[in-house]
Structures are given as C-alpha cells and as structure tokens.
C-alpha cells in the first residue's frame, strides 16, 4: 500500500489513514471552518475599510454603500479594529 492511501478499517467503521498520513491535518489552525471564517472576516474588514476610505470616513454613507445598518457598521469597525488613518482625521475648523 502506498503512503497516504486509504483502506477500510478492520472494525468496518469506514476508512482509516495509513500510518504515514497526517493524523489531524488542519487541527493546529482550527480546521476548515476556522479557515473559512478568517477569510470571510478578512474580506469583510477590507470591504468596510474601502467603503470608509471612499466616503472619507462618513460612517453613515459607508453603511449605506455596504447596505448594512449604521449600528452594524459601528460594531464591525470595533470588531475588526479598523482605525482611521491620520491623513483622514478631520481637524478643528476644517
């Protein structure tokens, strides 16, 4: 049998991996669910940051652009730790 080839388990309970195959691939990173959640979170944070840049950090306009509520946008800004860059902060009298 080749390394990593699948064979039926002796107890009849499905397939078992060869000795050379990884025992728990992905468990150190949290598995597929964790990977997909991280990818979704990264994409969402990027879309929010882009909308905020496009609207010059007008959160009401950014929420409308993203088609989410203003409160949801505020929650997600805090959740993802999105901070306004120094070049976009308004100064007094501006």
* Inside any domain, residue 91: no
* Verdict on whether the full-model pTM lies above 0.85: no
Domain count, the chain: 1
Nearest to 47 by CA among 20, 26, 68, 27: 68
Give me the CATH number covering residue 64. 1.10.10
Q: What is the pLDDT of residues 2-51, one digit of tens each?
A: 555 555 556 555 554 444 545 554 455 579 999 999 999 999 999 999 99
What is the C-alpha separation between 47 and 44, in angstroms, rounded?
5
Domain that holds residue 60: 34-80
């Amino acid at each position: 049998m080749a390394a990593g080839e699948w064979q039926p388990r002796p107890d009849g309970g499905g397939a078992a991996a060869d000795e050379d195959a990884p025992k728990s691939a992905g468990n150190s990173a949290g598995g597929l669910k964790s990977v997909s959640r991280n990818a979704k979170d990264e994409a969402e944070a990027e879309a929010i940051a882009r909308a905020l840049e496009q609207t010059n950090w007008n959160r009401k306009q950014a929420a409308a652009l993203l088609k989410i509520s203003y409160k949801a946008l505020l929650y997600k800004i805090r959740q993802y730790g999105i901070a306004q860059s120094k070049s976009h902060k308004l100064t007094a009298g501006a």
